[in-house]
Structure 1
Amino acid sequence: MTSSAKNSPWHGALIEGATATLWTFDAGRAMGPAQTETLPDNAIIAGDSSYTLAVPCPVIPDALPSSGPQRVLPTVTQAAPRDRLTWARVAAIGFQSLNPEWDGILCLPGHDTTYWVHLSAKEIVSFQGCATPQLARTLNASTTPETEAAEQTMSRPANLAAQIHTAQVSQNANALLGHLLGAEIAATRPYWLGQEVALIGTTPITEAYATILNAQHVPLIRADGTKMVEKGFQILNAL
């Protein structure tokens, strides 16, 4: 397919909620990310829900649909639990292209949402989004989780609301994050239990996930989120 996005310079844009983040690629170099309010014509757009694809589906698509002068990476959808995988698919594409035989779970903390994505045989089998980053920001939690708080919530997730209140009264921002992450780790146990997890991210909360997952002795590998996104866009531009 011929598209202006293939020409140099070209752009890759991630849309997460109301936030759009732009990369510029020129002569093999990646520049960014930077927030933007406008999407250039010669861009690959990830996060536009106008184009969708249901799971299970290939991690790396065969081609990209066009929307005017732009190309769009379809949003992956799931019926149960109902969910949409938008920007995180670009990082998954970058990781899969560098690790073509890898099967396991991706954990991708973003600005608002963390996605847990099950990859098998080069397909996205299922995924689960969690609003922990958004909740942590709203509640003014720290970026350093208290592991004891996480373990308390993992053992009694029904007490989360009361535990958050206690942490707020105690002005313990570390416990706040620990409780939130404990609830998420408990909810996503069917994903990570007995699996190798690739933690992909650059947001401040990424290290907090590493702390809690390591405390649970989860086999963990790390990948730089920015580099995975850049690689993902480069793979997409070559389609």
Structure 2
Amino acid sequence: MTRWIALGPTGKTVTAYAMDGGTLINSATAEDEKSALAALDFEANQAIRIGDGTPAKLPAKLTPEDGQSLPGFEQASPPDIIGAWIRLWCTGFAADKPNWDGVICAISSGISHWIHISANEAVSCQSFLSPGLIDAFGGAFPPDAGALFDSLSRPERLASHLRQAQVSARTAAATGHLIGAELMAARPYWLGQSVVLISDEEEIAEGYATALEMQSVPHSTYQAQDLIPAGLTALGKSLELFE
């Protein structure tokens, strides 16, 4: 059985995962690669780098079929880039759902990515800076329902709505306005679709879940970390590191 390591930058740190075939053995996070590998203390035959390589142009399979890395995704129009860790989350979710067709809303690092998945491929995406703007405006959760509906119906007034929320110190309203405007813009991605929310930040995922519930959109929510083991197993199998 091949012993291998998957590692890559996670914000200002580096995270490494020790794999024995398709089984996750251990993980470690440190300030740099050398420290992460030392903390992992795992002898491996091969290392797969998460985030290295040329991004795969959409539409693209969730897992590469060769190489020594897992790059992210890139879309030409509208221009967008999705990080490799989010690609791994999507892979983990879809690992036991080969015919699943729907939309994943992946939220991380101040960005939300709405990604259409079909037959184990990422078909297209649309991304927003709303999570980062919520943080910048000191937004609170859960989002204010009235504000959310206001921006769903009148997204062109978002800047004015945000100023009003700022002046009146209605932090939950700021959150509602931002998510409402995003939902309106992302409507082609969630209307009539099965939506899966994946995030490494529980609070903001719950905020988006609340907004989808207000629109009666069927959805489920996953913690990103819970999907990584299945994602790594699917990645290793795709790269033929084990049978």
Do these two structures clear the TM 0.5 threshold for a shared fold by scoring above it?
yes
Aligned to 2:41: none
Relative to structure 1, the CA distance from residue 197 to residue 212 in structure 2 (aligned partners, 3 Å threshold; closer, same or farther) is same
Q: What RMSD in Å do the two structures reach over aligned CA positions?
A: 2.2
Count the aligned residue pairs. 224
Deviation of the 1:20 alpha carbon: 4.3
Corresponding residue SS for 2:216: coil
Corresponding residue SS for 1:171: coil
Q: Which has the larger radius of gyration?
A: 2
Deviation of the 1:108 alpha carbon: 0.8
Aligned to 1:7: 3
Deviation of the 1:231 alpha carbon: 1.8
Deviation of the 1:212 alpha carbon: 0.1
The match for 2:50 among 46, 50, 53 is 46
Residue 24 (structure 1) aligned with residue 22 (structure 2) = no
Distance in 2 between residues matched to 1:136 and 1:219, nearest whole Å: 24
Residue 82 (structure 1) aligned with residue 75 (structure 2) = no
Deviation of the 1:232 alpha carbon: 1.0
Question: With structure 1 as the length reference, what TM-score do the two structures score?
Answer: 0.84
Corresponding residue SS for 1:148: helix
Deviation of the 1:111 alpha carbon: 2.2
Aligned to 1:61: 64
Stretches of structure 2 lacking an aligned partner (at least 5 in a row): 38-45
Alignment of 1:196-215 (within 5 A): 196-203=194-201, 204-215=203-214
Distance in 2 between residues matched to 1:94 and 1:206, nearest whole Å: 18
Matched letter for residue 12 of structure 1: L
Residue 180 (structure 1) aligned with residue 178 (structure 2) = yes
Deviates more, 1:24-33 or 1:54-63: 24-33
Alignment of 1:206-225 (within 5 A): 206-225=205-224
How much identity, in percent, do the aligned residues show?
A: 32
Distance in 1 between residues matched to 2:96 and 2:70, nearest whole Å: 19
Deviates more, 1:156-165 or 1:142-151: 142-151
